């Protein structure tokens, strides 16, 4: 009996508990045509490997996404002068152009 337990432990040691639980549930479920037979370690190992396929797919996707991620330009953007910005707004909105906003501090604006 100890040798059988050792065989099971050795075969399934690399799988996370959740994948083994799903594999055992699948084995006894109606989707498995062999559910009335006793499984051997390789049967559960094979199904646990299938259960882990979603994890492997996510790892591949994450690796591909990190390679394809756009690199952000770190050079500072050129600032537009306020009069040019106002002209752009006036051209875009026509007569409904936004009023000029004085961004100086209130004390500076009064001077």
Residue 47: both structure tokens together: 């199904």
Q: How many domains does the chain have?
A: 1
Residue 44: both structure tokens together: 């559960």
What value does the mean pLDDT take over residues 96-106?
57
96 or 47, which is more confident? 47
Q: What domain range is 62 assigned to?
A: 2-68
pLDDT in tens, 58-91: 999 888 887 776 666 667 778 878 888 788 877 7
In a domain, residue 16? The reply is yes
87 or 50, which is more confident? 50
| DSSP symbols for 89-108 | HHHHHGGGPPPP---S-HHH
Of 36, 35, 48, 37, nearest to 8 by C-alpha is 48
What value does the mean pLDDT take over residues 106-110?
54
In a domain, residue 108? The reply is no
Rounded Cα gap, residues 110 and 20, in angstroms: 74
């Amino acid at each position: 009996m100890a040798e059988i337990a050792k065989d099971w432990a050795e075969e399934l040691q690399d799988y996370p508990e959740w994948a083994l639980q799903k594999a055992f549930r699948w084995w006894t479920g109606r989707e498995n045509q062999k559910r009335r037979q006793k499984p051997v370690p390789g049967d559960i190992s094979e199904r646990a490997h299938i259960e882990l396929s979603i994890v492997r797919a996510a790892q591949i996707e994450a690796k591909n996404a990190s390679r394809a991620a756009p690199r952000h330009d770190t050079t500072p953007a050129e600032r537009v002068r306020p009069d040019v910005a106002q002209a752009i707004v006036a051209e875009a909105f026509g007569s409904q152009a936004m009023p000029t906003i004085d961004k100086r501090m209130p004390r500076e604006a009064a001077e």
